[in-house]
Chains A and B, each alone.
Chain A
Amino acid sequence: MGKSTGKKVMKNEDGDDCDGWWWLVHKNIGASFLCIAVFAFLVRVAVSFHPYSGAGNPPKYGDYEAQRHWMEITLNLPAKEWYHNSTTNDLNYWGLDYPPLTAYQSYVHGLFLRIFHPESVSLFTSRGHESYFGKLLMRWTVLSSDILFLFPAVFCFVVVYYTGRGRRSDIAWLIAMILLNPCLILIDHGHFQYNCISLGLTIGAVAAILSDKELVACVLFSLALNHKQMSAYFAPAFFSHLLGKCLRRRNPILEVSKLGLAVVGTFAIVWWPYIHSMDAFLGVLSRLAPFERGLYEDYVANFWCTTSVLIKWKRLFTIKSMKLLSFWATILTCLPSMIQQIWSPSNLGFLYGLLNSSFSFYLFSFQVHEKSILLPLLPASLLALEEPFHFRWLTHYALLSMFPLMCRDKLILPYMALFALFYLLYYAPGGREDTRKMQSPSSLRSFMLSFLVLCSLFLHLVYITLHPPDKYPFLFEAVIMLLCFSQFILLTVYTNAKQWMLLKHSTLMDKDKKLV
């Protein structure tokens, strides 16, 4: 036993000895994961000390109050009335507008809050409730969801996909990149949301697909969809990959219907209280699609918002035609990646497909807000070992695009700390092989890149210190948005091209095999 581990160490020594992280990865992947996970959790707890969205800001407060209000409603009313406007449930005040799984989650968390602090979830009287203990408990509901959903899912993913295909310190680096994604931590534990649940379920589904457990994947992804409808950003990738896989089997129709049944079954269970009458069903459905909230929110760096500087979409089209337009734009832009996956489904292609479809939704779909950048970021982080530069670039501009929101939430300090931490971990000494290799990119490219980074840092400074001119009160937001949008578009084009290159690569490989 001692000898075999000794040999392993010896084998690794030539590569790993100079790593700052050699102590972290000398044992198995589980030990490294445990260590990084505890660190990631510590960071989350520390971020949770900071203010949440809408803290001390009546009468509407923010997302924190929305979540708390949902707990109050689900805890005190029967399930049928959760989505129904009534005297006890005023839907105009943070009415429930997420699918039923979020409602159940609010119910469970409400139970938890009622045990320790009943005042914070009592009907009517708790509206706008803010207290030291209430905040603590609410924060703990997010922290515990993170441990229960995101962390195990990431562990499964890493074990399924990356064991045996890289140096162990590379994998440790990847774990750190996924778990310490600054945007996710800031939104969930600073701003206050439960993205960790739906994203965790999605990663679980991805891990299930990578290990060929399609039924499990369907169930998990349906659950993710039922927690946040935004998970639909990934739906084209899941759909096309699974379809492509099924088509290559002996009995495609049977395979497809099996998966379809799993999806329908999961949906039926989750929607059980609402599928007995059409009215109730449609009532919930209309709550989930808040088209009246407009094409986009605030200054989000997507296509519609950015081009609205030149073309006033909102004035030119009615909401209805705008809906159609954005729908087709989204479908058209994610079509290439879907076709690639139906054509030749592969694990790596699937991950790229997730990235591409979520990017087209972010850029072209209806009603996008700045937090939606978390969805493209997730597959980008899963691909961090394949596309380290892409991931760094995307994270950098995703953070920048969230900066105005962080300022409103008074989260500048954790924003800066996590920004720095991200870069530190990215450039960890010995974290990844190629960070240490001296790259010599063309001087023009490196000049452009450093110029853009400087620009973004400068924008941060300008945004905090200067007042915008009275005529254009949102000037700085618009500039940030423009910069971020230009980068996002470039990255999308790049990843789409990359996904299609895989096809070429794989056919080449096939040819090679045949030749051999």
Chain B
Amino acid sequence: MEEKLQRPHKNPGGTLQSMAWYALVAACIKLLLIPSYHSTDFEVHRNWLALTHSLPLSQWYSDETSPWTLDYPPFFAYFERFLSIFANLIDPTIVNLRQGLNYNSNTVIYFQRMTVIVSDLCLFFALYRLTAKLDSGKRNLIWVLVASSPGLFIVDHVHFQYNGFLLGILLLSLSFLEEGRDLMGGFVFAVLLCFKHLFAVAAPVYFVYLLSRFSRGGFLKGFGRALVMGAVVALVFAAAFGPFVYYGQIQQVIHRMFPFGRGLCHAYWAPNFWVFYIILDKGLAFLLRKLGFNIQAPAASFTGGLVGDSSPFSILPSITPLTTFIMVLLAISPALIKAWRNPRPGMITRWVAYAYTCGFIFGWHVHEKASLHFVIPLAIVAMQSLEDAKHYFLLSIVSSYSLFPLLFEAQEYPIKVLLLLLHSIVMWLAFSAHSTKNGVINATAPANKGSDKLEVKGSSRAATKKGDFVIGWIGKIYLLGLLVVEIWGQFLHPYLLGSRFPFVPLMLISVYCAFGIMYSWIWQLKRIIGSS
């Protein structure tokens, strides 16, 4: 007993060692998932390996040997070039532009899967940095939340992408900002943009936040720092795009990176605002037809590109990329105003996550996978209060569920269900453990309340009022509804309707999840406006 009492306050639960433990356990599962189904994205990345390895830089963005042309910014291409060195050592066929097409041997599968698993180190390192100042209990819980996140498993390790790596860079940038090291944060974010430009949705937040920070410490000093920042960003972009400018390829690069020929929605509608817009249009058209109006069925579809002047909508006005752009900016603006007025480092993660939420909800041609961009950063703030925890619980389940259609083969079905189930149980255990602990602290030591780092007035009150982590009845009914939607789509629909209306189950998932995501957006908005 004595030994226990003498144990120093700084305990081993929050060390790098235990962080590595979570990462390694997750890595074991990822290893086991290597032979599972992989999407065409796998061949896309294989082709990029071949392309960057066997062609000179000047042809990277103009090659059309495979339909899966390079459409990520240059840093990602350099990253692929780096990986291709090892690929060439392991099996030269992988990096062969022609013979490697649709290459599917074990070597390429093991190699590419391993690159994803190893590059996840970036995520865990960033996570470690980002949570460095929290107490060990919270740190552990945040790590568990991210390590067990089904979205990362489904998208990265089964479907095949490098989101863990890219999100790692984002979190790294956020960790610098939270420490108050604005220059480093901005620099890392610029690097991230040159890896994947889809992350640019948060650029306005970064811009306003940094500008506001610089303008605080006196005009001259601030101006100088802003200049340095601008120079750093310019340098990063020059390193990325410079070679292509030199070879006169820059137009081709830009063209590849922004293919506006695509439609408003992806083949499977991401659960966002436009789902409601489309449904409303269909409903109105149906009603008006019933009332005797002559409504033309639209010639174009929202998933395909814009065909000439025809609109994919029957009644409602057509949507252009510009409309979505303005809507996203408008939606972000509350966070921008807050960031301008009071650029607190403690809020930046929340603002950035909010920006990605807006981009997801109102953006043009949004992929369902983009929900990872805000779900993972939000895990960091989920421990700040009970309300945050409740919101995260709901959001994480909904967004993971909305990724289910990515894995459509029978073999992976139990994997995605079990991953979500495990994640939900872990969240439930983690949040209730955390809230009871907090409740105890609040009940036993009310004097400490003032020093508590809770950000919103309401949350500490909620924690004292009720120590337990309880989801309200609306939340419960909504989550049960997910189960109903899944059972309908998987079992009842094929059984009752056979192959008729094959699009209905997917549409149901989109619409149903869209409610949850919209709720999350409104909740985040309220949280940001309500913060002092």
Contact = CB atoms under 8 A, between A and B. Distances in A.
B437 interface: yes
B436 A6 contact: yes
Interface in A3-29: 5-6, 9-10, 13-15, 17-20, 22-24, 26-27
Interface in B369-420: 410-411, 414-415, 418-419
B28 A420 contact: yes
B430 interface: yes
Contact of A421 (B25, B110, B437, B443): B25
Given A6-B467, A35-B426, A22 B5 contact: no
Given A27-B432, A133-B410, A6 B425 contact: no
A47 B467 CA distance: 40
Contacts of A14: 4-5
B156 to A, nearest CB: 15
Contact of A20 (B7, B29, B140, B437): B140
A41 B433 CA distance: 24
Q: Which of A10, A38, A136 has the most CB of B within 10 A?
A: A38
Interface stretch (A328-336, A357-365, A411-419, A465-473): A411-419
Nearest to A24: B429
Contacts of A413: 31-32, 34-35, 110
Contacts of A27: 429, 432-433
A429 interface: yes
B317 interface: no
B36 interface: yes
A27 B469 CA distance: 12
Interface in B427-450: 429-430, 432-434, 436-437, 439-440, 443-444
A422 to B, nearest CB: 9
Contacts of B35: 49-50, 413
B28 A429 contact: no
A417 B30 CA distance: 9
Contacts of B33: 46, 49
Nearest to A5: B436
A15 B4 contact: yes
Contacts of B426: 35
A424 B437 contact: no
Contact of A418 (B28, B36, B436): B28
B18 A420 contact: no
B31 A18 contact: no
Nearest to B427: A23
B346 interface: no
A43 interface: yes
A417 B21 contact: no
A142 to B, nearest CB: 13
B439 A17 contact: no
Interface residues of B, number: 50
A425 B36 CA distance: 24
Contact of B11 (A6, A17, A136): A17
B499 interface: no
Contact of A9 (B25, B144, B440): B440
A130 to B, nearest CB: 15
Contact of A424 (B25, B410, B434): B25
Given A18-B136, A428-B21, A42 B13 contact: no
Contact of A23 (B25, B110, B144, B418): B144
A17 B441 CA distance: 13
A132 interface: yes
Given A9-B440, A50-B35, A413-B34, A34 B425 contact: yes
A45 B13 contact: no
A430 B410 CA distance: 38
Nearest to B35: A49
A31 interface: yes
A46 to B, nearest CB: 4
A136 B13 contact: no
Contacts of A20: 13, 18, 21-22, 140
Nearest to B8: A18
B265 interface: no
B259 interface: no
A38 B421 contact: yes
B218 interface: no
27 contacts: A2-B467, A6-B436, A10-B440, A18-B7, A18-B12, A18-B136, A19-B13, A20-B18, A20-B21, A22-B137, A23-B144, A23-B430, A26-B432, A32-B429, A34-B425, A35-B426, A38-B422, A42-B418, A42-B419, A45-B415, A49-B411, A50-B35, A414-B31, A414-B32, A424-B24, A424-B25, A429-B21
Interface of B: 4-5, 7, 11-13, 17-18, 21-22, 24-25, 28-29, 31-36, 110, 136-137, 140-141, 144, 410-411, 414-415, 418-419, 421-422, 425-426, 429-430, 432-434, 436-437, 439-440, 443-444, 466-468
Interface of A: 2, 5-6, 9-10, 13-15, 17-20, 22-24, 26-27, 31-32, 34-35, 38-39, 41-43, 45-47, 49-50, 132-133, 136, 143, 413-414, 416-418, 420-421, 424-425, 428-430, 436
Given A9-B436, A23-B430, A26-B437, 6 more contacts: A6-B467, A15-B4, A18-B7, A26-B436, A413-B34, A413-B110
Nearest 9 CB-CB pairings of A with B: A18-B11, A46-B32, A23-B433, A429-B18, A417-B31, A421-B28, A26-B433, A18-B13, A42-B418
